[in-house]
Amino acid sequence: MNLDSLTDMVSNAVGVLILLLLMTALQSSKPHSEPPLPIEHQSGLLPKFFYIHSDRVQSIDVNAAFANGLLAASESTSEAQQEFQISADFMGQRHDYLTLTMTPVDTDKWPGFEDLEMDDTLLGKTARSLNSREDFAFVFVEDEGDGVSFQEFEKVKQWFLDRGTAVGWIPVTENNPAYLCSWSNITACRYSPSHYGSGG
């Protein structure tokens, strides 16, 4: 091996290292709109459910959801899983008598973050009725890829935390929709509050 070949090999290796460093630096400088995945902890608190779609927020009545699910099942003539109306805000699909998945509808009519303060809305009444010694807010955050839902979640999360209410959350997508368990099976769903340290 002559000196020219050795010089070429070293130059190539240095060039590759510089390229890797540049790519790493560019990647780390990109703004991340998605918060880190929740780090949950066990709790004796009961979840009260909320759903965020873009800049809209809505509460979820679990009892009504399962009552409507059982009614839809009793009226169905098919064995196949069918969608049914959970409420004016959600469609659902029952997987058994204990679990169902749900998708939002008519979200442009949903309230926004500012309605958490309003006592005359379902969202406001539900949010303000949480007892921090018994309940916590569990939020399904729909990931649409633009980061808007996560930005809205940060505001909603802080609103609850400022009032001493614990918050848990999970990201949901079209392929991984929000799911609910009936109250008799609530432990199977493992809804838990999340730890919130710096940046979390």
Q: Is the pTM of this model over 0.85?
A: no
Cβ contacts of 83 within 8 Å, gap of 6 or more: 91, 92, 93
- Degrees to nearest 5, angle at CA 3 with 2 and 9: 95
Q: For residue range 127-181, list pLDDT tens digits in order.
A: 989 998 999 999 999 988 888 999 999 999 999 999 999 999 999 998 888 988 8
Q: Is pLDDT at 2 greater than 60 in this prediction?
A: no
In the block, tokens 């309605």 appear at: 115
Q: For residue range 80-126, list pLDDT tens digits in order.
A: 556 777 788 888 887 766 678 888 999 999 999 998 888 888 888 88
pLDDT value at residue 157: 94
Cβ contacts of 38 within 8 Å, gap of 6 or more: 168, 169, 170, 194
